[in-house]
Amino acid sequence: MDERGQLCVGIDPHAALLAEWGLSDDIGGLERFTRTVVDALADRVAVLKPQSAFFERFGSRGIAVLERAVADARAAGALVVMDAKRGDIGSTMAAYAGAFLDKGAPLFSDAVTLSPYLGYGSLRPALDLARAGGAGVFVLALTSNPEGAEIQRATTAAGTPLAQTVLDRLMAENAGARPLGSFGAVVGATIGEAGVDLDINGPLLAPGLGAQGATAADLPRVFGDAVGNVLPSASRGVLRHGPNPAALRAAVEREVGEIARFIGSGG
């Protein structure tokens, strides 16, 4: 982020976007779309975030495209956050962790998104593997989708918002880390007043810029003193400028500049 700017770009090859690019909704369109984004942006954006579901829907051939995208993006110097939102228990959670956080795995990524709603403790296999391998995680806390509030803002028996309990556990994972720990939270840029303590000594992945309605101007209000630790994420707001690589790069430059204007970073 210091070198390239405070921005994550999603790789979301959904059918409507493939059509906007003039591509067919098949493995050929998926491959061309993905390769264009990676080739255009991986050497200049801080983080790329492929959404696993859009590749999984094409079966093994789609996963092969995802594997190449991850490897090529990391080789070009971008960090990769795998947006998989996995959450399970026991050996199944350990298998998910191995798929994305084991350095020998074809889909090894710098971080993966996780869901804590089978209990934060169920994430332990992924947390431990990330710590051992120098990778990270982003755990869902306050997401950008409106439906999330009914669970995430519910209170525990002790009267604490559920999202705050997740954030507190992440803060404990990051205790003593400098400059930041590797255990982050997903906190949507669209949520308005957070109403919780976001100072977890770790990164905050903030989806919602662009198509979901948030702007860079919203970031200081939502994140307050923790805004310097925010990784804003944009997908359609950047990707709609394709398939022209120069237009994609120009869109990233505008986003990075706008974010820097409001939160004082930008490489």
Output Rg (C-alpha) for the chain, integer angstroms: 18
85 included as an active-site residue: yes
The C-alpha atoms of residue 171 and residue 211 are separated, in whole angstroms, by 30
Task: Give me 67's structure tokens.
Answer: 């594997």
Residue with tokens 């795995």: 105
Contact call for residues 34 and 64 (beta carbons, < 8 A): no
Burial 31-64 (b: 16+ CB within 10 A, else e): bbbbebbbebbbebbbbbbbbbebbeebeeebee
Residue with tokens 């559920």: 162
Q: Is the dihedral of CA 95, 99, 104, 106 positive or negative?
A: positive
Of residues 14, 68, 74, 85, which has the active-site annotation?
A: 85
The C-alpha atoms of residue 54 and residue 76 are separated, in whole angstroms, by 22
The C-alpha atoms of residue 152 and residue 45 are separated, in whole angstroms, by 30
The C-alpha atoms of residue 71 and residue 165 are separated, in whole angstroms, by 35
Contact call for residues 149 and 194 (beta carbons, < 8 A): no
Q: Which residues are catalytic?
A: 85
